[in-house]
Amino acid sequence: MGNKRDTQAYLEQLGRKRGMVLGLASIRELMSELLNVQNKLKFVHVAGTNGKGSVCAFLSSMLTEAGICVGTYTSPAVFGRAEQYRVNGEDIPEEKFDEIIAEVRRACERVREQSGNDPTVFEVETAAAFLYFYSRGCQVVILEAGMGGETDATNIIEDPLVCVLTSISMDHMKFLGGSLCEIARAKAGIIKENSRVVAVKPEQEEVRQVLEAWCVKKHASLTYSDEAQAEQVRYGTKEQGISFVYPGLGEVELTMTGAYQVQNAVCAIETIKILRKAGFAVSDGQIRAGLRKARWAGRFSVLCQDPLLVIDGAHNSDAAKKLRETLKRGFTNYKIIYIIGVLADKEHEEMLKIMLPLAWKVFTVTPPGPRAMDGAVLAQEAFKYHRQVRYCPEIEEAVTAAVRSAKQENAMILAFGSLSYLKELREILEEKPDYDR
């Protein structure tokens, strides 16, 4: 048996010790010690640059609505590790998480004795997901790749029901390559022999060529999902969400706001169509209900109503363009205050160029962790594109200053960039009883 303190200390120690290591050799050793329970599960494997978590949330909600026992593994955590492991929309119980991590830890110790290797924290978390979903008897597991695809620990699975590729853009260049083609090849590595593939239709011809060539190589069937298939799209305010008409389904409503969610919902619908052919009964009504009920933390999520405070995990130029579109469609009646914190290995300057023309004021912060970009340096970059920029050494200082300004000027606050600082931001809001949530 484990406990919360031991679990937290162990995972933090692993993160410091090994950091990020791509490749499947270590996870194969670890899962061998755990009797390869992943081979007894059925998966929908989701990779891509943007939209993975939202697509996972839509899929999970639709399958749950159909009465199918569905596990969902996503990363990174926004508000707590338990949210990475969900069965039918419910987070793993804390005691069960401690118990599962303790079991994986014992397996890691056996691996170390036999080969001298230490699995990474992501490999431990992924192994824990396989164990938990197997213990719960999940009929389908929605499995989000952590980074890339081909050398991601989740790619140990052998015969997925469907391989899903969301939009692909420049990200994690240090690990995945410096060109779109290299990144697309890494993502396409989740495609297995004779597998079924659903991919968001790429805008770039070179990405299409990579995906299509890989599918030919693997004798895999490829279905493109295209946002243009959604007709009569209506973008509402924060209360109204989004609606559109989809061929064969009629009117679809999304509670998850953000203009980019139409693309993600269409991808999820096309994936459900493939799962139907594989024998999973999901009615049109269950598709509509599942899409309407789906939620995803950190993607244009409202944390506070007075003043309006929204968080979004936009962390690269493609996501920034979609976030800007959302603001232009539904929030033009607000002055907009930004709180921005980013990781140093992201396209932060390009993001600033895209987002700052819509800002009234900008506050920069430094997210936690060794990969964080110093908020003072970020403020210097931001000053090239906007004159109302202030660096706040503490996240609470940024929240307090942004809220004060928003209440004075009927402004909204948008906190975006790295997901890693949004947990602290939410905790700060929860300690402020005068904010209307």
Query: pLDDT by residue (tens digit) across 243-284?
Result: 999 999 999 999 988 888 999 999 999 999 999 999 999 999
Q: How confident is the model at residue 171 (pLDDT cuts 50, 70, 90)?
A: low
Average pLDDT taken over every residue of the chain: 89
Q: For the chain, how many structural domains are there in total? A: 2
Least confident range from 111-120, 232-241, 292-301: namely: 232-241
Range of the domain at 139: 4-293
pLDDT 10s digits, 315-343: 778 888 888 988 888 788 899 999 999 98
In a domain, 39, yes or no: yes
The pLDDT, as a whole number, for residue 169 is 75
Looking at the domain assignment, is residue 287 inside a domain?
Answer: yes
Are residues 347 and 263 part of one domain?
A: no
Same-domain status, 415 and 362? yes
CB 312 within 8 A of CB 387: no
pLDDT in tens, 345-396: 767 888 999 999 999 999 999 998 877 899 999 999 999 999 999 999 999 9
260 and 315 housed in the same domain:
no
Co-location of 361 and 278 in the same domain: no
Q: Return the CATH number at 214.
A: 3.40.1190.10
Domain boundary pick from 236, 266, 293? 293
In angstroms, the Cα distances linking 71 to 20, 44, 92, 347, 414 are: 25, 10, 10, 32, 31
pLDDT score for 32: 97
Give the residue, 18 or 390, on which the prediction is more confident.
390
Q: What is the DSSP letter of 155?
A: G
Residues 272 and 315 placed together within one structural domain of the fold: no
For residues 206 and 247, state if they share a domain.
yes
- What residues contact residue 116 under an 8 Å CB cut-off, 6+ apart? none
- Looking at the structure, do residues 285 and 232 belong to the same domain, yes or no? yes
Instruction: State whether 271 and 330 are in the same domain.
Output: no
Residue 197 lies in a domain: yes
Residues 6+ apart with CB under 8 A from 77: 83, 84
Give yes or no: residues 57 and 137 share one domain.
yes
Domain end point (choices 261, 293, 325) = 293
pLDDT at 20 over 80: no
- pLDDT tens sequence across 196-244: 999 999 988 999 999 999 999 999 999 999 999 999 988 765 556 899 9
Higher pLDDT, 48 or 180: 48
Q: Alpha helices, DSSP H only, in 294-369?
A: 317-330, 348-355
**In the chain, pLDDT over 70 holds for what percent of residues?**
93
Specify if 435 maps to a domain.
no
Q: Are 255 and 353 members of one domain?
A: no
Identify whether 81 is part of a domain: yes
Instruction: Give residue-wise pLDDT tens across range 402-433.
Output: 999 999 888 999 999 887 788 888 888 887 65
Q: Are residues 332 and 183 in the same domain?
A: no
Region 142-149: mean pLDDT is 88
So what's the pLDDT on residue 173? 46
Window from 73-82, 103-112, 227-236 with minimum mean pLDDT? 73-82
List the CATH number of the domain containing 372.
3.90.190.20
Q: Do the domain assignments include residue 56?
A: yes
Q: Would 437 be classed as within a structural domain? A: no
- pTM of structure: 0.88
- Stronger pLDDT, 306 or 217, i.e. the higher one: 217
pLDDT at 166: 94
Task: Tell me, yes or no, whether 307 and 286 share the same domain.
Answer: no
Report yes or no on 436 lying in a domain.
no
Among 271, 293, 315, the domain-final residue is: 293
15 band by pLDDT with thresholds 50, 70 and 90: confident
**Mean pLDDT in residue range 60-85:** 92
Token digits of residue 296: 């995803």
| Mean pLDDT of the region 130-148 | 94
Q: CA–CA distance from 136 to each of 28, 48, 224, 350, 355 (Å)?
A: 22, 27, 33, 44, 43
- What is the C-alpha separation between 299 and 290, in angstroms, rounded? 17
Cα–Cα distance measured from residue 261 to residue 394, given in angstroms and rounded to the nearest whole number: 32
The stretch 124-140 carries a mean pLDDT of: 97
Answer yes or no: is pLDDT of 1 > 80: no
